[in-house]
Structure 1
Amino acid sequence: MALTDLRDKLVADLGRDGVIDDPAHLRTYECDALTGYRVVPALVVLPRDADDVATAVRACAEHGVPFVARGAGTGLSGGALPTADGVVISLQRLRRIIEVDPANRRAVVQPGVTNLDISKAAAAYGLYYAPDPSSQQVCTIGGNVAENSGGAHCLKYGFTANHVLAVDVVLPDGTQTRLGGDAPHQAGFDLLGAFVGSEGTLGVVTAVVVRLLHTPATVRTLAADFDSTETAGAAVTAVIAAGIVPAAIEMMDNLAIEAVNEAVDAGFDPDTAAVLIIELDGPADEVEERFAEVTAVCTAATRVTIARDAEQRARFWRGRKAAFAAVGRLSPNYFVQDGVVPRTRLGEALARIAAMADEAGLRVANVFHAGDGNLHPLVLYSEAAGEHERAEALSSGIAELCVELGGSLSGEHGIGTDKACSMPRMFSTDDLETMQRLRAAFDPAGLCNPGKIFPTPRLCGERPGPYRPHPLESAGVIERL
């Protein structure tokens, strides 16, 4: 009855075209990019502005119905996984760039604006937005704020949290407020810092004030091939130990290179065990001096290819940023992990991951931000062959290995649904209870994106709905739409 009453209220307040309740259309929102877990929501609402978002949240609070904010659905941790008896608040209609302020090097955007579109809007002023997730063409700034996304250039420029000055939010009771402000330092508790990276559990973003940077004067990029991932990892450590801070150091192993070359013809050597993409940017004299040092450090490389122009540099990055999607050419299903290890333990981590994959009888493609030790192992499996549970166990084991090696469960994708059950490996009971108290201060009823981050008996006992193909589908008689 609560859902029926809520639907009627939302239709009255937002219009018939602002509410989706058709079962077929609801399936569009059943998962994010972690497609192994799927839950069909009861309703989806499509607000047009911040007031509509507040109206929807307030209605959910009044009826005691859980809700999940959703951007482009590109998240990889199940952070936007709906609840079966809840509402998805889609922010795709809030996609306006409200202001670009070059004098103060900032922009004000709605949460549905894509990451790359911010830089496109700022380019006319010689500015850009530094965080650049691989999905930046499609991922939205609201989702970046939720997960504190980074990207290839976070080694030098930091994460979303380092580039957000303020957010307008709707709190879980429907109240609208602003966290942060125009001044670089705000008095009082850092509520903005708590909100960025809270994975949508503290409220819904309706506008973001981001910091813009001047476009670098000079950029130099190289691709270095190595005969093993361990040797490549040692080169990463050597670059940082030399006091050099590149804009980016990315690594792909041979399996990832195979997929990328097939997908976008990136030009990487198909026979190399691993490739490092190293990029420096800044003042011309500094870049040239440091770039020579980087090239000298890569003495263990079997080949070093220096990008001769912007086109070749773009080709390198097109390959790296296409990697996740390209791996779909190698396997019908895969999990993407997101653990972090100390740079000095990269080689050890990769060797352990390879051994774990062999033991599980599965393949793992490695694509990651090597400069800050943020691993993105892709565990390949076939749902039809019954490999889901083995792949899920391997994926979780890799995340927990990162903690064992002195790192973290997540570098930028978030905990979400995927790694909630692993949180006790990293945090004590007191730690988790303290985090829950902060969450409860914002959302005492627990309606805002429930079931994420924190382990619960339901999550850790039943796992919320990995897709199981019907026998007729496996036999090729029917297909899933």
Structure 2
Amino acid sequence: MTTHQAPVLRAAAEATERAFLRDLGDVLAEDGASLVDGQRALHYLHDRSGGETARTDVRALAVVRPADADGVAAVLRLAHRHRVPVVTRGAGTGLSGGASAVDGCVVLSTERLDRIVEISPEDEVAVVQPGVINADLNKALAEHRLYFAPDPASDAISTIGGNIATNAGGLRCAKYGVTRDSVLALDVVLADGTALRGHRSVKGVTGLDLTALFVGSEGVLGVIVGVTVRLRPLPVATATVSAYYPSVQAASGGVREISRAGVVPAVAELIDNASLRNIDEYSGSRLTDGGEVLLLVRTDGHAAAAEAADVVTALRRAGGDAHLVTDERESERLWELRRSGRGRIRPVWSVGEDVAVPKSRVADMYEELERIGRRHALDFAAVAHAADGNLHPVLSRPVPEGTDPGAPSPPELDVAEDELVRGALALGGTVTGEHGVGATKRRWLEDELGAAGLALQRSIKAVFDPNGILNPGKAI
């Protein structure tokens, strides 16, 4: 760009923005969408990933909150016509920068699309809008003795739309799969305002499976405005087994023995010693009194007790100090500590990751984490959905006393993160198990997908979004 061209291009961009905002005012008046401005708008410009995605210098043109699907379509038609980027945002609980604003965009919040439209106990389906909170849906379903299986640790604050955008998993993945396995159909508005409608039946195999394509697409193909989800009966019983092992390798042997016993647990969580110590320090618990590494297993359904007994036998066969947790309050306390017991007591520079490997290679991934930590003088800790190989490692270094915690983190963290992700890929794994690619993981896309695979995915996006306005710079 020459020095003469720059002012001309800036003037053209500013004219486009003025025209868009003028037309947006008409849309807001007609369709009941609300506009968020001033200081309140800052809340909508980033998610919980932090780092570069939490930049305060990003300038969004507007933050809009449509009240219905028609309002979403009106905003998208306008953005498509003016070629204004659109970043769709749910509750902003994402950890990969997928909902972070980009310069010159309109942030489209789905928080007002928060109705549970229908619950059908007979068909075991529910129809909901994307802004419904995961835990709120399950509260409504409980009176019908039903539940929605995906259960990310953020279930109390994350939305169904966000769960779908990243194909979130959670603790129950081993038995019930990820979000895609519980989504039957979607209503979606495409970049040009075109509406796609889904079916309501449990079965639906007509044509290509566009529903599966939209699940996990992180807002780059369309905006979800309606969801038909598959429900499951609440388990008539659950049972929790606790087992301590001297090492992660030994605990991984326990997971193998569970598989050999023919039991499919609802949940199997491996918590390493560093994570146990963090939980104790942060929550005042005394989990480390029991041993080095904790494996928590839950069975459910009519056979929960029998399966739990088989799990205890299997874990003891692998050398674990295993027992059935018979106190229901203690059981719930253990699971709550796993979900939300960790936190920061003192300032640290840290990077958190979400990788998955074949479950037979979980111990190898822990060993790689240990090597990376030693090599770069970093602390490391990880919890894992052990039955499906999804790990959530954290690499960190304490902030020296007297140093501003907001100061740039040591470069070793970035190098170590790169080695961590590439280590997972080398073990046959993936760069993300459930948090999505967003903005933070795009640098590893070609390593996993290959050049041809990545080019094909981008070609598919171009079909749905020819002007490239939906969540630019994210996912693919």
**Pairwise CA distance, 1:316:** 1.2
CA distance in structure 2 between the partners assigned to 1:344 and 1:446 by the alignment: 40
Q: 1:47 to 1:319 in 2, by over 3 A?
A: same
Equivalences for residues 111-260 of structure 1 within 5 A: 111-260=130-279
What SS class does the counterpart of residue 428 from structure 1 fall into? Answer: helix
% identical equivalent positions: 36
Name 1:296's counterpart in structure 2: 313
Aligned with 2:392 (options 342, 365, 376): 376
Name 1:2's counterpart in structure 2: 16
- Find out whether 1:35 has 2:50 as its counterpart: yes
- Find out whether 1:356 has 2:375 as its counterpart: no
**Pairwise CA distance, 1:306:** 2.6
What SS class does the counterpart of residue 241 from structure 2 fall into? Answer: strand
Equivalences for residues 270-285 of structure 1 within 5 A: 270=289, 272-283=291-302
**Pairwise CA distance, 1:190:** 0.6
C-alpha deviations, 1:58-116, integer Å up to 9, x for none?
11111111111111111111111211111111111111111111111111111111111
**AA of the residue aligned to 2:26:** A
CA distance in structure 2 between the partners assigned to 1:172 and 1:252 by the alignment: 43
CA distance in structure 2 between the partners assigned to 1:85 and 1:179 by the alignment: 32
- Quote the RMSD (CA, aligned, Å): 1.9
What SS class does the counterpart of residue 356 from structure 2 fall into? Answer: coil
Name 2:452's counterpart in structure 1: 430
Name 1:449's counterpart in structure 2: 471
Q: 1:49 to 1:267 in 2, by over 3 A?
A: farther
**Pairwise CA distance, 1:186:** 2.5
Q: Which runs of 4+ in 1 moved over 6 A?
A: none
Name 1:343's counterpart in structure 2: 359
- Find out whether 1:53 has 2:75 as its counterpart: no
Higher Cα radius of gyration: 2
Q: 1:41 to 1:434 in 2, by over 3 A?
A: same
Contact kept? 2:282, 2:344, Cα under 8 Å = no
Contact kept? 2:251, 2:320, Cα under 8 Å = no
Q: 1:358 to 1:4 in 2, by over 3 A?
A: farther
- Find out whether 1:98 has 2:117 as its counterpart: yes
Aligned with 1:321 (options 334, 339, 347): 339
Structure 1: stretches of 5+ with no match in the other structure? 455-481
**AA of the residue aligned to 1:2:** T
Name 2:26's counterpart in structure 1: 12
**Pairwise CA distance, 1:206:** 0.9
Name 1:310's counterpart in structure 2: 328
CA distance in structure 1 between the partners assigned to 2:292 and 2:37 by the alignment: 50
Q: 1:436 to 1:180 in 2, by over 3 A?
A: farther
**Pairwise CA distance, 1:318:** 0.6
Could you tell me the TM-score, scaled by structure 1's length? 0.89
Relative to structure 2, which stretch is displaced further, 296-305 or 345-354? 296-305
Q: 1:64 to 1:254 in 2, by over 3 A?
A: same
CA distance in structure 2 between the partners assigned to 1:17 and 1:270 by the alignment: 54
Contact kept? 2:33, 2:66, Cα under 8 Å = no
**Pairwise CA distance, 1:5:** 2.4
**Pairwise CA distance, 1:358:** 1.7
Contact kept? 2:131, 2:159, Cα under 8 Å = yes
CA distance in structure 2 between the partners assigned to 1:242 and 1:436 by the alignment: 43
C-alpha deviations, 1:167-193, integer Å up to 9, x for none?
111111111222454241221111111
C-alpha deviations, 1:364-386, integer Å up to 9, x for none?
22012111000110222455454
Could you tell me the TM-score, scaled by structure 2's length? 0.90
